[in-house]
Amino acid sequence: MMFVEALYQIRTCPKVLRWLAALVLLLWLGAWRQPLHSKIQHDESFAPLVRKHIDHGSGRGGSKAMPTHAQPRSRLTYSVGWYIPPSWTDQTDAPIDDAPQTPTEAATLALGLAMRKDRFLTNTKIPLIIHQTWKNLDSSTWSDVVRLGVNEWLEAAVGGQNPETPPAAYIMWDDRGVEEFMKVYENSSWSAIDMMPYKVEKADVFRVAVLKWFGGVVSVLPTSSSCTFH
C-alpha cells in the first residue's frame, strides 16, 4: 500500500517535484534491495569461522586464484570454500601431495576420506559432508545473515572434541564451481540445464546431482544450523 500511495502522490505533484520525487523513490528502492551489511562485519569476533576457512584460505574455490604459499593437502584445514577436518587427513595411510584447487576436487577428497574410515551419520551410509551454495566466495559481499548462516554450519562441521559429535567436511560451491561440477558429472544434461532461465532452478538441479555423486547433507542459505552430527 505504501508503494501505491507513493506513486499516486508523485502523479499529483508539479512536474519538477514529480521528477524529484521519482528520483528519491528510485534511490530508496535501490537502498532497500541492497544486502544488509553492518559495521559488525569488520569485528574479528563476528563469524570467526568464515574468516578462518573462507576468507583466509590456502586453496581456491571456483573463482579465486590459488596463492603460491598453498600448503600440502595433509594440512588442508583453512582452504577457501571448504573445510576438511585435520583428523581426517592426519590418519591417511599414504601421504597426500596436492591440495584440491576446486570444490569438485575438495568434495572428491572428502568423500574418499569419509569412505575410508566409515565417517557416516549414525546408522546410515550418508558421509559426513556438508554442501552449501552461494554465488561467490567473496564474503565481504555477503549479508550479515548469510555470513552467520555459513558460520553456524561451519561450527557444526568443526564439531566437538568427543566421538558423539564428530567433525564433518564442509564444501562451499560458488557459481563457477557448480558449473565446473555439472559439466563433468552431468555433462549429457548440461546444455538443457544451462538453458534454465533462473539460477535457482540450476541450483536445485545441482543439489540433487551433488548428493547423487558425493552424498552428504545439503543446506540452502541463508538457513542456519543448530545441529551437531551424530
- In terms of Cα–Cα distance, which of 155, 121, 132 is closest to 225? 155
Q: Hunting for cell 576457512 — which residue is that?
A: 53
CA 26 centroid distance within chain:
31
Same domain, 17 and 55: no
* Residue type, position 197, single letter: P
Q: Is residue 224 part of a domain?
A: no
Same domain, 174 and 62: yes
Per the structure, how many domains does the chain have? 2
Same domain, 82 and 179: yes
Label residue 123 left, alpha or beta by phi (over 0 means left) and psi (-120 to 50 means alpha).
Answer: left
Same domain, 77 and 158: yes
Q: How far apart are the first and last CA of the chain?
A: 48
Model confidence pLDDT, tens digit, residues 124-147: 999 999 999 998 888 888 888 889
Same domain, 12 and 91: no
Same domain, 70 and 25: no
Q: Is residue 228 part of a domain?
A: no
Q: Which helix (H) or strand (E) holds 169?
A: strand 169-173
Q: Is residue 230 part of a domain?
A: no
Same domain, 136 and 22: no
Same domain, 70 and 158: yes
Grouping H, G, I as helix, E, B as strand and the rest as coil, residue 93 is: coil
Same domain, 8 and 106: no
Model confidence pLDDT, tens digit, residues 46-74: 888 888 888 765 444 333 334 444 444 34
Strand 129-133 to 82-83 pairing: unpaired
- In terms of Cα–Cα distance, which of 85, 64, 61 is closest to 73? 85
Domain membership of residue 143 as a residue range: 40-219
Residue 186, pLDDT > 90, answer yes
Strand 217-219 to 129-133 pairing: parallel
Average pLDDT over residues 35-43: 55
Model confidence pLDDT, tens digit, residues 99-121: 788 899 999 999 999 998 889 99
* Residue type, position 67, single letter: P
* Residue type, position 202, single letter: K
User: Whole-model pTM?
Assistant: 0.72
Same domain, 23 and 136: no
What is the pLDDT at residue 62? 36
**Would you say 173 and 85 are in contact if contact means Cβ atoms under 8 Å apart?**
no
**Would you say 59 and 70 are in contact if contact means Cβ atoms under 8 Å apart?**
yes
Bridge partner residues of 131 (DSSP)? 171, 218
Q: Is residue 179 part of a domain?
A: yes
Residues near 137 by Cβ (< 8 Å), separated by ≥ 6? 54, 61, 62, 63, 64, 80, 81, 172, 174
Q: Is residue 226 part of a domain?
A: no
Q: Is residue 76 part of a domain?
A: yes
Banded model confidence at residue 79, pLDDT cuts 50, 70, 90: low
Same domain, 23 and 94: no
Grouping H, G, I as helix, E, B as strand and the rest as coil, residue 173 is: strand
Measured CA to CA, the distance from residue 154 to residue 149 in angstroms comes to 9
Q: Is residue 102 part of a domain?
A: yes
C-alpha cell at 215: 552424498
Q: Is residue 106 part of a domain?
A: yes
Same domain, 47 and 128: yes
